[in-house]
Amino acid sequence: MITVNSNSIKRYSWQREAILGVLRSTGEHPTAEWVHQQIQAVIPNISLGTVYRNLQQLVDAGLIQAYQFGTGKMRYDANQSHHAHFICEQCGRVEDYAPESMSEHVAALMESVPRQINHAEIYLYGVCERCKKTRS
């Protein structure tokens, strides 16, 4: 059981907890529609609107991140560690990219800028291994 504890979420919701569990169980960066499909195995009558509302509450609580990656579709990520995102320009796949030294580099960069930095995002665009293989 994954417990959702946050001061910005006033009431416990087993639906929200199940949605967070789905997000934490995947390395993908799914859309709300994908989360809705997955969660229906556990909660068959859950509406897409309920999934959207709960995703937004999780974002507002800082438990997940929401990104668009220039695709027009919101994607969600439960990985809270320092990492970059690699976006395939052919298939749209989003992968986490986190070399061992990433945390150190991000921390050093944030300290070197003479302003208050709250967070940093790094996007890498190119062609994923799967698409490179199909092109060959």
pLDDT (tens digit, 9 = 90+) per residue, 77-117?
A: 998 877 888 999 998 888 888 777 777 777 787 788 888 87
Average pLDDT, the chain: 86
Dihedral of the alpha carbons of 92, 94, 95, 99, in degrees to the nearest 10: 100
Judge if 14-77 and 84-135 fold alike in CATH terms: no
Given a cut of 60, whether residue 123 has pLDDT beyond it is: yes
Q: Does domain 14-77 have CATH number 3.40.50.300?
A: no
105: enclosing H helix or E strand = helix 102-112
**What does the domain layout of the chain look like in residue ranges?**
14-77, 84-135
pLDDT value at residue 3: 46
pLDDT value at residue 98: 79
Given a cut of 70, whether residue 1 has pLDDT beyond it is: no
Given a cut of 50, whether residue 72 has pLDDT beyond it is: yes
State percent of the chain over pLDDT 90: 49
pLDDT value at residue 5: 53
CATH code given to domain 84-135: 3.30.1490.190
Task: Give 69's contacts (C-beta < 8 A, 6+ positions apart).
Answer: 29, 75, 85, 87, 94, 123
pLDDT value at residue 69: 81
